[in-house]
Amino acid sequence: MPDAHPDEIDRTMDELRRLRRSLLAARHAAESVSRSGGDAVVCRIIGTGADSGR
């Protein structure tokens, strides 16, 4: 299948776009909470620097 590789690239690009939108939404939510004086942690591992224990 000569078109399999471009199709795989298209799927990967779509997945990356969805991930980017999700991360942007999380960042915007965290910024909103932070602006209102709250403690916003988007990801416990990143937010605390803690080892997940796995």
pLDDT tens digits for 5-23? 999 999 999 999 998 888 8
Flag whether pLDDT at 47 surpasses 60: no
Q: In the structure encoding, which two tokens stand for residue 31, read together?
A: 């910024």
In a domain, 41, yes or no: yes
In a domain, 9, yes or no: no
Q: What is the pLDDT of residue 8?
A: 94
Q: In the structure encoding, which two tokens stand for residue 32, read together?
A: 């909103």
Q: In the structure encoding, which two tokens stand for residue 54, read together?
A: 């796995």
In a domain, 44, yes or no: yes
Amino acid at 11: R
In a domain, 40, yes or no: yes
Q: Tell me which residue range forms the domain holding 46.
A: 22-54
Q: In the structure encoding, which two tokens stand for residue 40, read together?
A: 């916003």
In a domain, 49, yes or no: yes
Q: Does pTM surpass 0.75?
A: no
Work out the pLDDT band at 1, boundaries 50, 70, 90.
low
Q: What is the pLDDT of residue 17?
A: 94
In a domain, 7, yes or no: no
Domains identified in the chain, total number: 1
In a domain, 43, yes or no: yes
In a domain, 11, yes or no: no
